[in-house]
Chain A
């Protein structure tokens, strides 16, 4: 496996880790820009498939990172991507945890939470928009996006069942 590719993957996810305010999934737009648009390592379809598989599987949603790394460069790709995504945030979490819960309510921390909460919501909506974009030419696929969003938002439908239903509808060729 090409060492340059692995190094580039590692470096990219190191940077993404620092931007992952409000969860790993919110970095999807930049990950897509890099892997699909700039490097052309993955197609749109492979990218969406990776996100979907990670959502369907058990475990934290950051697992889309090793899945995409795997699609680019096999097992080594999966490991360097995951390591890149974990190292900065892990170090920061440990440092913050030791720095102490007693200072959690400081003005800066509260301002940080308040100021970045709307940005987090915007980033999630942007990620979803980007993932829905390849389906924009199919009305039935956009229907699936909308129904999944409504069911997940308004009911307690489990994501796993929604994704299974999506797989069934897709296998029938309706998407």
Chain B
């Protein structure tokens, strides 16, 4: 269920909670899981956001938010870096995976191509190659 939750579009943790809720308690369980995952954090994060907005003119607060933003960017770099070693276990060759990472990063991050074209283009091509490779390995 975890791997399925990670594959699907949408937030992983939320998908997982939803599927567990649904499996054991049906639609009402799914709804309860969703509310449980998101209710309290949503209230907290919106309170923080309105606090930050009301302090935005204050130079110290604005500086603090700038610092937080820089760290947030760093954290997302790290998330990407932590996922990269898993590509070694990918059925596709590592060099091809690396090329797809760089191509996706360059087109979306530098050239600012809309994601839909990149996901359909590079993602579609990689999926097709993986499909073909998994099949040919299976036959052997």
Interface residues of A (CB under 8 A from B): 15, 17-25, 27-30, 33, 45, 48-63, 66-67, 70-71, 75, 78, 82, 85-86, 88-90, 92-94, 96-98, 101, 104, 107-132, 134-135, 141-142, 144-153, 159, 162-163, 165-175
Measured CA separation A28–B7 after assembly (Å): 18
With A126-B105, A163-B71, A170-B63 known to touch, is A60 a contact of B30 (CB < 8 Å)? no
Proximity string of chain B (72-98) to chain A, C-beta cutoff 8 Å, 1 when within and 0 when not: 111111111111101100111000111
Check B65–A170 contact: CB distance below 8 A: yes
Give 26 pairs: A residue, B residue, CB < 8 Å, sorted on A. A20-B11, A48-B69, A49-B65, A49-B68, A50-B49, A56-B48, A59-B42, A60-B13, A60-B37, A60-B41, A61-B11, A101-B4, A107-B131, A112-B130, A117-B83, A118-B92, A121-B84, A122-B102, A122-B103, A123-B105, A125-B105, A126-B108, A128-B73, A152-B79, A173-B59, A175-B67
Interface of A, secondary structure class, is: helix
Q: A20-B11, A162-B75, A166-B68 provided; 6 other pairs, C-beta below 8 A?
A: A19-B119, A20-B10, A33-B112, A60-B11, A107-B134, A163-B75
Measured CA separation A23–B13 after assembly (Å): 9
Check B4–A96 contact: CB distance below 8 A: yes
Which residue of B10, B13, B67 is within 8 Å of A92 (Cβ)?
A: B10
Check B134–A119 contact: CB distance below 8 A: no
Check B66–A175 contact: CB distance below 8 A: yes
Check A166–B71 contact: CB distance below 8 A: yes
Check B63–A172 contact: CB distance below 8 A: yes
Interface residues of B (CB under 8 A from A): 1, 3-15, 18-19, 22-23, 30, 34, 37-38, 40-42, 44-46, 48-50, 52-53, 56, 59-84, 86-87, 90-92, 96-98, 100-105, 108-110, 112, 114-116, 118-119, 122-131, 134-135, 138
Residues of B within 8 A of A66 (CB): 42, 45-46
Residues of A within 8 A of B19 (CB): 93-94, 96-97
Check A124–B83 contact: CB distance below 8 A: yes
Measured CA separation A52–B72 after assembly (Å): 5
Measured CA separation A167–B55 after assembly (Å): 14
Measured CA separation A144–B22 after assembly (Å): 42
Check A170–B78 contact: CB distance below 8 A: no
